[in-house]
């Protein structure tokens, strides 16, 4: 490693410069090149703090090594689509022709940039959800279970997730509805309107259940405020006289095997045709 000037030598350089000595004269006196003398003479104009050595890379902010155009694009996308997280923003950068051939920031770096620019959403710790004990069903349509399985790319269609609706007692799959989430990549999650459509289709054929069992998706309870109740979806079910039941966190509903749907539910104990 090469020889490095000390802080004392830098102070002497600055004091000699203030006394009117030239860079060449100072260099001869301190034993450094005139280029080194010139560097510290100029740094000394900023004050004594500027003469200290800087260890490591100076802090310049998240994504500072990337183009201003890329940073402004990320902020514009986030403002236009508040639901886009770092992973989605990274995917957009990958397909944007303006950034072809350029090095892209990691998902973690984009997350840090969003936090620095105060573009993240604040989440408050909410009250614990009331847990429903184990429900023993005696007949069909007492409890339906609904959830969306993982999404996948379907050729010539787009990214699709299946929203499955099952009857807990009869273990019959009432409906599997394909919900479109995007064309080239997942751009959203199933929303209130999607789940309402699924249930309306099921209500038309099967009537209304007593309860609907769901997981802890934000559509079903509010995870952004201290009180998780009620969401618009929850209120909609209450207006229909259907109770909403939440499963325990960290668990999923039991998978229901797909069976042939009987033409008349009376064969399994209860025909709910009065709600059709």
pLDDT tens digits for 223-265? Answer: 666 666 688 999 999 999 999 888 766 554 444 444 434 333 3
Higher pLDDT, 107 or 136: 107
- Per-domain boundaries in the chain: 7-51, 68-116, 143-275
Q: What is the pLDDT of residue 269?
A: 36
Q: Which helix (H) or strand (E) holds 252?
A: none
- pLDDT at site 258: 41
Query: CB under 8 Å, gap of 24 or more: what pairs does 52-59 form?
Result: 52/7, 53/4, 53/7
Please determine, looking at this structure, whether the domain spanning 143-275 carries the CATH number 3.40.640.10.
no
Tell me the backbone φ, ψ of residue 144, rounded to 5 degrees.
-105, 150
pLDDT band at 275; cut points 50, 70, 90: very low
- pLDDT tens per residue across span 43-68: 888 777 778 776 655 556 888 888 88
Per DSSP, the three-state class of 261 is coil
36-46 burial by CB neighbour count: b if 16+ within 10 A, else e? bbebbbebbee
Is the pLDDT assigned to residue 156 strictly greater than 60?
yes
pLDDT for res 149:
86
Encode pLDDT of 193-206 as tens digits.
999 999 999 999 99
**Which is nearest to 151 in space by CA: 176, 184, 112, 179?**
179
Using CA atoms, how far residue 81 sits from 18, 61, 88, in Å, is 57, 23, 10
User: What percent of the chain has pLDDT above 70?
Assistant: 79
Task: State the pLDDT confidence band at 134, using cuts at 50, 70 and 90.
Answer: low
d(CA 219, CA 231): 7
pLDDT number for residue 89: 93
SS3 at position 179: strand
Instruction: Report the relative pairing of strands 158-167 and 211-214 from DSSP bridges.
Output: unpaired
Bridge partner list, 246? 214
pLDDT for residue 180:
94
Residue 209: predicted pLDDT: 95
Task: Output 65 or 127, whichever has higher pLDDT.
Answer: 65
More confident residue, 189 or 270: 189
Helices 192-206, 232-240: inter-axial angle, 10-degree rounding: 20
Tens-digit pLDDT profile for residues 164-175: 999 999 999 999
Closest residue by Cα to residue 139 from 241, 201, 210, 244: 210
Q: What's the confidence (pLDDT) of residue 41?
A: 87
Helix, strand, coil: what percent of the chain each, to 5? Answer: 35, 15, 50
Residue 57 neighbours by CB under 8 Å, 6+ apart: none
Q: CATH number of the domain at 7-51, out of 1.25.40, 1.10.10, 1.20.120, 1.20.140?
A: 1.10.10
Q: Could you tell me the CA-to-CA distances from 274 to 203, 206, 270 in Å, in that order?
A: 11, 9, 11
């Amino acid at each position: 490693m090469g020889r490095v000037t000390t802080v004392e030598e830098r102070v002497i350089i600055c004091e000699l410069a203030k006394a009117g000595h030239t860079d060449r004269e100072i260099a001869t006196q301190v034993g450094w090149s005139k280029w080194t003398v010139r560097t510290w003479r100029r740094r000394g104009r900023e004050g004594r703090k500027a003469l200290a050595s800087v260890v490591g890379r100076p802090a310049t902010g998240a994504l500072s090594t990337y183009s201003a155009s890329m940073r402004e694009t990320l902020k514009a996308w986030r403002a236009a689509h508040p639901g886009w997280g770092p992973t989605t923003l990274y995917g957009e950068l990958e397909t944007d022709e303006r950034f072809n051939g350029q090095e892209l920031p990691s998902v973690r770096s984009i997350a840090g940039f969003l936090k620095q620019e105060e573009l993240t959403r604040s989440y408050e710790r909410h009250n614990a959800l009331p847990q429903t004990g184990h429900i023993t069903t005696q007949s069909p349509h007492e409890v339906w279970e609904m959830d969306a399985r993982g999404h996948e790319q379907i050729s010539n269609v787009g990214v699709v997730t299946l929203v499955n609706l099952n009857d807990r007692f009869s273990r019959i799959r009432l409906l599997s509805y394909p919900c479109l989430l995007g064309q080239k990549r997942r751009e959203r999650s199933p929303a209130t309107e999607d789940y309402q459509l699924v249930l309306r289709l099921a209500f038309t054929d099967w009537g209304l259940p007593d309860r609907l069992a769901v997981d802890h998706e934000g559509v079903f309870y509010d995870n952004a405020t201290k009180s998780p109740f009620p969401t618009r979806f929850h209120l909609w079910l209450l207006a229909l006289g259907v109770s909403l039941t939440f499963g325990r966190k960290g668990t999923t509903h039991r998978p229901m095997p797909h069976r042939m749907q009987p033409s008349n539910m009376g064969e399994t104990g209860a025909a709910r045709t009065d709600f059709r």
